[in-house]
Structure 1
Amino acid sequence: MQAKIQFIKGLDEKVLPDVRLTRSRDGSTGTATFRFKNPNILDKSTAKEGEITGMYLIDEEGILETRDVSAHFSNGKPETIESIYIMKTPKAWDRFMRFMERYGNTNGLVFTKAS
């Protein structure tokens, strides 16, 4: 199974996100902020598929999910979807990083550390 992201269960998001990671100094917690510019979930053709119920990160280990999803508008039209995934334990951080490695490999993404 390839790693994928969905906002409506069963409908894969094809637009690749910009992902920003932060981690506490002691490494016990972390936050991932996903930004999707003009995602296919906002297309009129996908509107009939259902409502956005969260962001689902799916791979062979299972599903990571967050309900923290918001749309940003420009000139009255939704343009960007932003979602925040919070990791509350080092184990959750490791699991998220395994998902991101698989998702990155599937989609040709690379991880760059901030300087």
Structure 2
Amino acid sequence: MGRLLIFGIAALVLDVFAIVDLVVIDRSRVRAFPKIFWVIIVIAIPFIGALLWFTVGRDWGRKRGQSKVVAPDDDPEFLRSIRLDEEQQARIRKLEQELADLDDDPDTKK
């Protein structure tokens, strides 16, 4: 009798957790059926419905529209910023060299 009571409480807690999860989760992360059908399944088939929701119905991946983490050497924006930094450094070196050449030029000295 005690084991049945513990199983019943565990099933009730799992069902409540599944329903709360269904209510707060974004609609885009629900698979297979609309949210209302999942609520009906969880309520109609108490323990198994919650297990089905967590295994089949819920998308455990990242949110849609959320950017994927990319390694720096695969990120085109990062590579572009490095190239721009290198180009800027090259321009600075060229201008410094031109200024040094002007300083060394005897025609420009007074």
Provide TM-score, normalisation by structure 2: 0.28
Greater fraction of residues in strand: 1
* Structure of larger gyration radius: 2
Greater fraction of residues in helix: 2
- Greater relative contact order: 1 or 2 (C-alpha under 8 angstroms, separation 6 or more)? 1
